[in-house]
Amino acid sequence: MRMRKSGQNGHTHFFVARRILRKVKTLDANIFLEREPVGKLMLRYSIPLIVSLLVAALYNIVDQIFIANADYLGSNGNAANNVVFPLTVIALAFTLLIGDGVCAFVSMSLGARNPKQAGDSVGSAALLSATVGIMIACVYWAFREELVTLFGGRVNDETFRLAVEYFSWIIPGIPFCVFGQAMNPVISADGSPNYVMFSTLMGAGINIILDPVFIFGFHWGMTGAAVATITGQIFTAFMSLHYISRRMKAVEFSRANLHFHPSIMKRYLPLGMCSFLSQIALVISVASVNMMIRKYGVLDTIFSQPEYSQIPMAVIGIVMKFFQIVISVVVGLSASCTPIVGYNVGAERPDRVKSLFTLLLECEAVIGAVAFVVVEIFPANIASLFGASGESVYYASFTVKCFRTYLCLIILACVNKAAFIFIQAMGRPYISAGLSIVREVIFGAGLTVIMPMFMGLDGVLWSMPASDALTFVVSVFVIVMIYRQLSTPAKV
């Protein structure tokens, strides 16, 4: 009896020891974020994330390229795509509110050696993103024509028809898009950025393959472009679901974590508020641009003619798509710092946070400089990708002018965006959100409305660089303040 009891105790001690060992391994899983050089960490996290964001951006861009090169769609299809774009950004805003917020919170929880809290936050974020996606889809479906009209779809009858068609087929994919994209930052924070890259690449690959099949092969037009897009989004969503349900590493996660956890949501949602507000502000800015283009386009000698009325709307959409590519790199590089920053803030290492901030700003300035060279030297080449060769001479000339004017201060835009995201990752969402609102609403939308009063259609184009210049002045003061605070450990 005594021997049996002794054996049982030994067996029990073995399982207790194994559980303790697993706990220690979980707590130390991300400790490399505090020890490895910040440049090496940035490179490790940024490449998969940049690729993922670029591929995600390609969903809309690839649609527009194939649409533009379909002779039965052309610039009207391009304009329709541009009308729907801000409506997809609204859904993305809620995605980032949840995804970026929980990513920062998970990183801080792991840095503070609290994987259980990280698991609860992931569970609530998964449920919340699925719920929000369904709610957005329902609202969009009920008011789809009104929303298309609100965002400038009435530029002419054909553009309106194509925009409603495209939007009606995009809507069913929104719940999948919101869930999949919200979980991607969580998967990165768990230490698997390569998985995010792979799932996003596969989803975009499906879209790229199906676009020409549906648009040129089946002749489905805008419907084909939308169906190709949502098919890729559904695939990515299921890949995300597979990871969080079966493959989590650093985060302790199980079905028991699948609750809304209001107390935790109150802590992580503010951390995503900057991303949310920056996207909503972007929607306001894009809506303002679309409305001003429609208003002042009819006053232009050329674009007041019915056969050319859609050109400004189509062209500004192309320019914004290129800008989206650049910003995807900028955001990917900045967002890759979130797990690193969050962990080191939790571990009380302001010296590493400061070094990473300096490196990030330098890299973003270089990205902006490269983009500036491209838009000033090769605007006609970019336009040719979007079917410029099949359009009128007015289409090509306005495209070149729009690129060179609208994006002439893209370097400052890159630095501004990097600063906003990094400050959010530090757990300072209100400062970051304030900067985003200043850029997109006060300067962005405000100058878009005011400057055309004096400059006509050119005022819309010059509103972008003017907004970036004024925002940069504000950003400099905030960046200096952050540097000073990072020099005092107690304030981090």
pLDDT tens for each residue of 325-348: 898 899 889 888 888 887 888 778
- At 27 the pLDDT is 46
Confirm whether 4 is domain-assigned: no
Average pLDDT of 95-102? 90
Flag whether 127 is in a domain.
yes
How far is the CA of 416 from the CAs of 158, 368, 475, 481, in angstroms?
A: 38, 11, 6, 15
Encode the chain in three state secondary structure.
Answer: CHHHHHHHHHHHHHHHHHHHHHHHHHHHCCCHHHHCCHHHHHHHHHHHHHHHHHHHHHHHHHHHHHHHCCCCCHHHHHHHHHHHHHHHHHHHHHHHHHHHHHHHHHHHHHHCCCHHHHHHHHHHHHHHHHHHHHHHHHHHHHCHHHHHHHCCHHHCHHHHHHHHHHHHHHHHHHHHHHHHHHHHHHHHHCCCHHHHHHHHHHHHHHHHHHHHHHHHHCCCCHHHHHHHHHHHHHHHHHHHHHHHHHCCCCCCCCHHHCCCCHHHHHHHHHHHHHHHHHHHHHHHHHHHHHHHHHHHHCCCCCCCCHHHCCHHHHHHHHHHHHHHHHHHHHHHHHHCHHHHHHHHHHCCCHHHHHHHHHHHHHHHHHHHHHHHHHHHHCHHHHHHHCCHHHCCHHHHHHHHHHHHHHCCCHHHHHHHHHHHHHHHHCCCHHHHHHHHHHHHHHHHHHHHHHCHHHHCHHHHHHHHHHHHHHHHHHHHHHHHHHHHHHCCHHHC
- The sign of the torsion formed by the CA atoms of 98, 101, 106, 112 equals negative
Count of C-beta atoms within a 10 Å radius of residue 117: 21
Query: Is residue 322 assigned to a domain?
Result: yes
* Full-model pTM: 0.74
The pLDDT assigned to 153 comes to 86
Taking the C-alpha atoms of residue 65 and residue 57, their distance in angstroms, rounded to an integer, is 12
Residue 158 C-alpha from the chain's centroid:
30
pLDDT value, residue 242: 93
Residue 159 lies in a domain: yes
Q: Which two tokens stand for residue 69?
A: 């090169």
4 vs 403, higher pLDDT: 403
Query: Based on the structure, what is the number of domains in the chain?
Result: 1
Report residue 324's pLDDT band, with 50, 70 and 90 as the boundaries.
Answer: confident
Report whether pLDDT(260) > 80: yes
Asked whether residue 22 is assigned to any structural domain, the reply reads no
Taking a C-beta distance cutoff of 8 angstroms, is the pair 315, 402 a contact? yes
Q: Above 80 in pLDDT, residue 11?
A: no
pLDDT score, position 104: 81
Give the pLDDT score at 28: 52
Task: Name the more confident of 62 and 195.
Answer: 195
- Asked whether residue 264 is assigned to any structural domain, the reply reads yes
Mean pLDDT, to the nearest integer, of 57-81? 83
Confidence of residue 412 (pLDDT cuts 50, 70, 90): very high
pLDDT tens for 118-175 read 889 999 999 999 999 999 999 999 999 999 998 888 888 899 999 999 999 999 999 9
Task: Check residue 75 and give its pLDDT.
Answer: 82
pLDDT class of 395 with cuts at 50, 70, 90: confident
Confidence of residue 6 (pLDDT cuts 50, 70, 90): very low
Mean pLDDT of 212-225: 94
pLDDT tens for residues 452-490?
Answer: 999 999 999 999 999 999 999 999 999 999 888 888 754
Q: How buried is 194 (Cβ within 10 angstroms: 0-12 exposed, 13-18 middle, 19+ buried)?
A: middle
Q: To the nearest whole number, what is the mean pLDDT of the chain? A: 85
Question: Which domain, by its residues, includes 386?
Answer: 29-491
Q: What pLDDT, on a 0 to 100 scale, did the predictor assign at position 489?
A: 54
pLDDT at 29 over 70: no
Percent of the chain predicted with pLDDT > 90: 39
Confidence of residue 428 (pLDDT cuts 50, 70, 90): confident
Residue 2 lies in a domain: no
Instruction: Judge whether 248 lies within some domain.
Output: yes
184 or 451: whose pLDDT is higher? 451
Note the pLDDT of residue 486: 85
